[in-house]
């Protein structure tokens, strides 16, 4: 028998098949985005409303009534947020000429300052930072959000069918795979509860943090305060860099509008708010921090951002958590989950 070539313990043919499957997977994500993305959002919404649905089911006695109430509230919330976003964007666009003039005045003031005979030259960064760049960022964000809202109907249809499937799927699995149903139940039970906890906790923390951001920016009179709060909510799902990206535009607007002391106060309030929710309140709600390697998280965010843009960056971490929990609940794939963990279990 001839020698079989291997690549890190895998047959060359097996490695080639894996590479082909990964390529097909990536191409499928890109070209079927309009179908796959609403489905994933619907799954995450299901996990998000599941705890409240169970409470309503105990109160009203029927799961369809519980989910019907929550789906109706979800639709109403999306419509209300869309109206407020559009109104806020229009208001910000109307204030752009005035903000641009104030920004130019602040830049001239900075360049007139001399320290030990040296003046501050910021001409090299003016082209990349300014009111126009903020408006362009908002326009791109609103375009992404508009595309997402355009697929809300598809998302809600998926959500309705997921709710219906959640009621009948266990019985069908029992009938179709009686010898393997216990394994399915172990994976689904272990990962489902953990994912529900994570999604609910993450969304609650993001909502609370963005609500405080909205109050702070409204109190300081920052133009487009509701837009920045919504961006803070979405980017809070992006680890490490999300909060920083969401904070920069309001800080730049504060630089344009306020004196240094007021700008420092605004910066301190935003940072304290972010650290309080992320460093204290979230661990208290979930009982533990997100147990995933920082490198794995950044790679997930980069990959999903490349595939689906801003919405991919937002969805990347929840998808990674679901994948890790599913891998962790199967003995065959548990080593992969351990490699993705930040704090692997100690040896007994």
Tens-digit pLDDT profile for residues 243-270 = 778 888 888 888 888 888 898 999 999 9
Tell me which long-range contacts 130-134 makes (C-beta under 8 A, separation of at least 24): 130/100, 130/103, 131/96, 131/99, 131/100, 131/103, 131/256, 132/96, 132/100, 134/249, 134/252, 134/253
Q: How many whole angstroms separate alpha carbon 84 and alpha carbon 330? A: 45
- DSSP string of 138-196? HHHHHHHHHHHHHTHHHHHHHHHHHHHHHHHHHHHHHHH-TTTHHHHHHHHHHHHHHHH
68: tokens are 């019907």
The mean pLDDT of 181-193, rounded to a whole number, is 62
Who contacts 240 (Cβ-Cβ below 8 Å, separation ≥6)? Answer: 294, 297, 298
Which sign, positive or negative, has the C-alpha torsion 235, 241, 244, 248?
negative
pLDDT of 299 above 70: yes
The mean pLDDT of 25-49, rounded to a whole number, is 82
pLDDT of 119 above 70: no
Confidence of residue 286 (pLDDT cuts 50, 70, 90): low
CB atoms closer than 10 angstroms to residue 258: 17
Tens-digit pLDDT profile for residues 208-222 = 889 999 999 999 988
SS3 assignment, position 345: coil
Instruction: Spell out where the chain has E strands.
Output: 6-7, 10-11, 114-115, 118-119
Tell me how far the alpha carbon of residue 237 is from its chain's centroid: 3
211: tokens are 């609500």
Confidence of residue 1 (pLDDT cuts 50, 70, 90): very low
Helix 131-150 to helix 225-235 angle (10° resolution) is: 60
pLDDT of 287 above 50: no
The mean pLDDT of 20-27, rounded to a whole number, is 83
267: tokens are 């910066």
The mean pLDDT of 118-141, rounded to a whole number, is 61
Q: How many whole angstroms separate alpha carbon 130 and alpha carbon 335? A: 48
203: tokens are 């969304």
Q: How many whole angstroms separate alpha carbon 300 and alpha carbon 312? A: 9
């Amino acid at each position: 028998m001839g020698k079989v070539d291997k690549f890190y313990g895998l047959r060359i043919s097996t490695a080639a098949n894996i590479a082909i499957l990964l390529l097909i997977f990536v191409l499928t994500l890109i070209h079927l985005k309009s179908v796959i993305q609403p489905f994933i959002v619907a799954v995450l919404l299901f996990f998000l409303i599941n705890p409240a649905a169970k409470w309503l089911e105990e109160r009203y006695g029927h799961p369809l009534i519980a989910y019907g109430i929550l789906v109706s509230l979800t639709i109403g919330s999306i419509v209300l947020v869309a109206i407020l976003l559009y109104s806020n964007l229009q208001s910000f666009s109307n204030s752009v000429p005035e903000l641009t003039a104030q920004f130019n005045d602040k830049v001239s003031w900075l360049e007139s300052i001399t320290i030990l005979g040296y003046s501050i030259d910021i001409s090299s960064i003016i082209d990349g930072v300014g009111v126009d760049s903020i408006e362009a960022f908002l326009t791109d964000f609103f375009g992404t959000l508009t595309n997402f809202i355009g697929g809300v109907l598809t998302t809600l249809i998926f959500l309705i069918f997921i709710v219906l499937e959640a009621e009948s799927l266990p019985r069908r699995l029992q009938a179709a795979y009686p010898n393997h149903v216990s394994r399915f139940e172990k994976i689904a039970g272990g990962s489902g509860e953990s994912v529900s906890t994570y999604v609910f906790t993450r969304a609650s923390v993001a909502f609370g943090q963005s609500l405080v951001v909205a109050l702070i920016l409204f109190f300081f009179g920052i133009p487009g305060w509701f837009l920045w709060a919504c961006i803070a909510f979405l980017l809070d799902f992006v680890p490490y860099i999300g909060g920083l990206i969401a904070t920069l535009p309001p800080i730049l607007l504060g630089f344009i509008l306020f004196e240094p002391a007021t700008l420092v106060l605004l910066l301190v309030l935003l940072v304290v708010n972010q650290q309080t929710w992320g460093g204290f309140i979230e661990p208290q709600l979930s009982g533990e921090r997100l147990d995933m390697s920082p490198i794995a998280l950044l790679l997930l965010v980069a990959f999903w951002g490349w595939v689906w843009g801003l919405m991919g960056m937002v969805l990347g971490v929840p998808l990674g958590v679901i994948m890790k929990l599913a891998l962790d609940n199967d003995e065959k794939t548990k080593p992969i989950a351990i490699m993705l963990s930040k704090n692997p279990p100690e040896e007994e």
